Amino acid sequence: GNSVTQMEGPVTLSEEAFLTINCTYTATGYPSLFWYVQYPGEGLQLLLKATKADDKGSNKGFEATYRKETTSFHLEKGSVQVSDSAVYFCAIGTASKLTFGTGTRLQVTL
Amino acid sequence: DVKVTQSSRYLVKRTGEKVFLECVQDMDHENMFWYRQDPGLGLRLIYFSYDVKMKEKGDIPEGYSVSREKKERFSLILESASTNQTSMYLCASSLRKTGGTEAFFGQGTRLTVV
């Protein structure tokens, strides 16, 4: 079956630091890849996505590239802000199913 | 604005009660999902449905059932609530497309079983 492994948190960074959250997956077929974000007290919302190899998804300064050869989709941001504090979930999707990683909590301090 | 609406944000139920969690989406999506979210375990799929009256077990279906009588509505049923079902429950929907599409989530229902 499909599975997603992402780095455990919490990740604590100072404002303006560089962020990387690693994500690798195993899947049958050719899935789409997603990063979701969950702010405190809210549901999940899509942050970015990529649907084929070498695609780069980007949004709000976050980026991730679909690496088929390494089955990875690492999330990066060049300069984090306090408002980026949240839980980030990597996910893979097929026609009928989404599989999530366990989530990585990011805490950004001043 | 696309919307997935869960009937309650917070719910407290007694052990042994039958509990219904309702979810409605207004995007004409084929797929609907129920997840539970627990600290350290992430999101785990309970059941999903890719069409009206169709359902598939997810990773942790024990103690739960679902109903999808209309395309827009997907209900999660706890037949006899137990304290280990205290959790955050998230409903989501998505289009059914080869390669997958993003899911849209409701705000979640925090269920406490006492």
CA distance B89 to B9: 10
pLDDT at res. B9: 93
* % of chain A with per-residue pLDDT over 70: 100
Which residue, B12, B70, B25, B51, is CA-closest to A43?
B25
pLDDT at res. A94: 78
- Give the tens place of pLDDT for each residue, A58-105: 999 999 999 999 999 999 999 999 999 999 999 998 777 788 999 999
- Assess A66–B contact: CB distance below 8 Å, yes or no: no
Burial degree of A67 (CB within 10 A; 0-12, 13-18, 19+): middle
- Give the tens place of pLDDT for each residue, B6-46: 999 999 999 999 999 999 999 999 999 999 999 888 899 99
- Candidate from B43, B96, B102 with C-beta closest to A100: B43
- Assess A9–B contact: CB distance below 8 Å, yes or no: no
- Assess B83–A contact: CB distance below 8 Å, yes or no: no
- Assess A104–B contact: CB distance below 8 Å, yes or no: no
Phi, psi of A28 (to 5 degrees): -90, 140
CA distance A104 to A85: 10
Asked if pLDDT for residue B2 goes beyond 70, the answer is no
- Give the tens place of pLDDT for each residue, B38-81: 988 889 999 999 999 899 999 899 999 999 999 999 999 999 99
- Candidate from A42, A43, A46 with C-beta closest to B102: A46
What is the tally of helices (H) and strands (E) in chain A? 0, 12
Closest-approach residue (CA) in chain B for A31:
B99
Asked if pLDDT for residue B98 goes beyond 70, the answer is no
CA distance to partner chain B, nearest, from residue A63 (Å): 17
Mean pLDDT, residues B78-105: 89
Residue A23 carries which side chain, given as an amino acid letter? C
